[in-house]
Copies of this chain bind each other. A is one copy, B any other.
């Protein structure tokens, strides 16, 4: 039995309590300051408010003020915050974790610098906490929290610098339904995670555009979604190759994009924009929902433009990215999608 502490009681962090606890480990699920209600309800009912199924018996729940107690003797810490909580986690949680304790982050995204450099969150943390050195790892690959909780067959990737650490983490978390690739290509895995989140919006645009033509609730059409999927894989491969020197993580990106198209918020906003909603209308309709995909599109688009200016990339090779950004900026519509340019 090992001690696994999860910090951040959002859906993905909380879902990882299932394989962790089912493997017999001590699991301490700790809410952030935003998770007070979730922790209160979990303590009271043994169930996360967003899940249909109770947590496995024995999971322990902690408020953020109890972080020190929750971290005591931890063999592994899971970071369950989303991209909007990355700095918070770095400032409020990392200082309390010993250097040698492995951290596994579920946070999706990339950090963009003004010069067009994009880096992963583990690298962002590494740079920010230097000269301190920690054991920082991350999870990529297609996984929705609901279905992990339901024990659906799921395959993800754990990435980090040290293969031995990754083997250990896999040993702690692997079950007969939660299967884990290992990779030391942190930037490749994390880029795949971020890019699929951006490009899943493109496929959702086609869903919405089809509804605009044939009516909401029409039989789904797939040619235009598939054309978007095709173009997305093409652009993602080019970006992966630029960012990491190879496109090996395209398998993971494609699988991950597939699941993102069908679940959740990126599909919602993309479909509304595809139907012809303006960005403000669409955001109003989804009030209160965090939209990491919009942030990542903006960041990548800005980076690509800067890199193109500096002659490092050809912006014309990313017509879908550019058009998605233009839609989000209110400067273009889904009806103007440059389909013909996708054949260049």
Measuring CB to CB, which residues of chain A are less than 8 angstroms from any residue of chain B? 141-144, 147-148, 150, 152-155, 177, 179-182, 206, 209-210, 220-227, 229-231, 233-234, 237, 250-252, 254-256, 258-259, 262-263, 337, 339-340, 342-343
Contacts and interface: CB of A to CB of B under 8 A. Distances in A.
A234 B262 CA distance: 21
Given A206-B153, A230-B254, A259 B181 contact: no
Contacts of A231: 155, 251, 255
Contacts of A209: 153
Contact of A342 (B179, B221, B222): B179
B254 A233 contact: yes
A304 B342 CA distance: 34
A222 B144 contact: yes
Contacts of A220: 262
B262 A181 contact: no
Residues of A contacting B: mostly: helix
A122 to B, nearest CB: 21
Contacts of A340: 179
Contacts of A177: 339
B339 A226 contact: no
Contacts of A230: 141-142, 155, 251-252, 254-256, 258
A316 B251 CA distance: 18
A10 to B, nearest CB: 17
Given A152-B210, A337-B153, A233 B259 contact: no
Contacts of A142: 222-223, 226-227, 229-230
